[in-house]
Structure 1
Amino acid sequence: MVEVQHLTKLFGTQAAVNDISFSVGKGEILGFLGPNGAGKSTTMKIATGYLPPTSGSVRVAEFDVVEHPLEVRRRVGYLPEHNPLYLDMYVHEYLDFIGSVHGLKGQERRSRVQQMVDRVGLGREQNKLIGALSKGYRQRVGLAQALVHDPQVLILDEPTTGLDPNQIGEIRQLIRELGQDKTVIFSTHILPEVQALCDRVVIISRGQLVADSPVRELGALAQGETIIRAEFEGPIDAEVLRRLPEVKAVEPGPNNTWRIRTTGTTDQRGAISRLAAQQGWILLGLRQEEQSLEQVFGELTK
């Protein structure tokens, strides 16, 4: 549904996006991650037709965003990072207006507006001025306008900004439901959201793609590093541990525990166990740690 090929965007001589490629299929939820200034919002704006690319291409539902911008906009719902709203309009009035912009008419438009009001939890607020709403409810209005024309592709830039924990849970559930039959691309700095919602993750840093992986496989990308936690009955000579092949670092912890960072693809727990037996160390525990998404993100973007 969305295909990005060798996309580059220059502002003057600075490359905000530098030759990135990835694709997202129907029924897939993609987490689009990166530090501030990495090029996420620029990429999303190009995918919606808001900005032109310098080179490369973006296709949405087989339509090129430069050659067929109106066809793309008919198929995309977009919630930008800074949610622009008409603050002097009523919620229901604004959504009706957005529906008319997308060509919805009569009963179909009224029905879609009411569906979106109910779906994003705006029922009690629909007759209020948007300017009188809290930030969280304004974000819900932004989600509703992105959905009112029933787009095939949803592009959401920081969709849970300003929401309280209950609202975040409701929006996560909504995104999960939408992802069953739509293509969803969303950026966030709340990494647990990615683990809770996403099928895949694309990470960019300084305009370049540094990861494109299923969430469950992302840990293996952090420089091929594995962390092993070892617990011994008494003190050991850490320097002996450091001499093992593929051991990158040995870090002490409390009560004779050690955090052992290894490189390569070979599981080093067997080698550590044999070394402990040779040295006469009593080994109480040995386990391989799963790297958190925060750790992986830090390694890939530092």
Structure 2
Amino acid sequence: MDIVIKNLSKAYDGQKVLDNLSVTLPEKSFTCLMGKSGVGKTTLLSILMGLEQADEGTILGVDDKNLSVVFQENRLCNNLTALLNIKMVIEDSARISDTQIRTYLDRIGLGNETKKPVSEFSGGMKRRVAILRALLADFDLLIMDEPLKGLDEDTKQQVIDIIKELTQNKTVIMTTHDDSEPQAFNANIINL
């Protein structure tokens, strides 16, 4: 089922962030939300996730989906390894093995870092763990808020390749300021 947003509005302290937004996000497709800072991209994601309530409007097609999220902040357990941070979101351990997780960590350049707590990782390394954790969770809908921000070009391409691989036949909504990212994912673009 598509995600249908009708007449959605949200204001903070009388300042409208979203004003009567109506848009359809197609099921099993990749959609990039774009626009300047402050136009409501993160607010819209928060409403879709149920973390905030809209002032007006309706959203259909989200409640029946398993949700996975990459927030702007990494939200990792710093005292745990990358492997354990990822395993925390995997409900069915038979679905994906530790060996498979390590293979993905290796593919994003973290294969030699499996024994360290993520507190010893750089910002870019933590970002890759947060992205991989969301990708390996069992989801129908993946929401990513500027996931590739701060990654160097080579690492970014590795992460893009894995995102594309692990989101086939899934619904993905991503915010970005980078015009090249929707192209990389062959994404639908919605300018807010």
Q: Same fold (TM over 0.5)?
A: yes
Q: TM-score, normalised by structure 2?
A: 0.87
Tell me what 1:91 maps to.
82
Out of 103, 117, 120, the position equivalent to 1:129 is 117
In the alignment, structure 1 residue 26 sits paired with structure 2 residue 11: no
The answer to whether the 8 A contact 1:95-1:113 is kept is no
Matches within 5 A, 1:32-111: 32-61=33-62, 63=63, 72=65, 75-99=66-90, 104-105=91-92, 107-108=93-94, 111=96
1:147 aligns with 2:132: no
Contact 1:117 1:144 in 2 (8 A): no
* Partner residue in 2 for 1:246: none
Deviation, 1:114, is 4.7
Higher relative contact order (CA 8 A, sep 6+): 2
Deviations 1:132-175 (A, max 9, x none): 11111111111122123221111111111121111111122223
1:78–1:60: structure 2 CA closer, same or farther, 3 Å change rule? Answer: farther
Structure possessing the higher radius of gyration over alpha carbons: 1
The amino acid across from 1:171 in the alignment is V
- Equivalence for 2:100: 115
Which amino acid in the other structure matches residue 174 of structure 1?
I
Give the Cα–Cα distance (whole angstroms) in 1 for the partners of residues 37 and 148 of structure 2: 17
Amino acid aligned to 2:87: D
- Structure 2 gaps, min length 5: none
Partner of 1:257: none
Partners of 1:156 and 1:59 lie apart in 2 by 19
2:159 pairs with 1:138:
no
Equivalent residue of 1:87, what SS?
coil
- Contact kept, 8 Å, 1:116 with 1:147, in 2: the verdict is no
The letter of the residue matching 1:156 is M
Is the alpha carbon distance of 1:19 and 1:56 closer, same or farther for their aligned partners in structure 2, counting shifts above 3 Å? same
1:256-276 deviation per Cα after TM superposition (whole angstroms, max 9, x unaligned)? xxxxxxxxxxxxxxxxxxxxx
Q: Distance in 1 between matches of 2:70 and 2:99?
A: 19
Q: 1:195 to 1:37 in 2, by over 3 A?
A: same
**Structure 2: distance between partners of 1:53 and 1:32:** 18
C-alpha distance in 2 between matches for 1:116 and 1:22? 36
Preserved CA contact (<8 Å) 2:33 2:174: yes
Q: Provide the C-alpha distance between the structure 2 equivalents of 1:25 and 1:116, rounded to a whole number of angstroms.
A: 29
Residue 172 (structure 1) aligned with residue 184 (structure 2): no
Shift of 1:187: 1.2
CA offsets per residue over residues 19-77 of structure 1, 9 Å max, x none? Answer: 1111222331111101011100000111111112111122345x2xxxxxxx55xx111
CA RMSD, 1 decimal: 2.1
Cα distance in 2 for partners of 1:58, 1:76 equals 15
Aligned length: 188
Q: Counterpart of 1:157 in structure 2: which amino acid? A: D
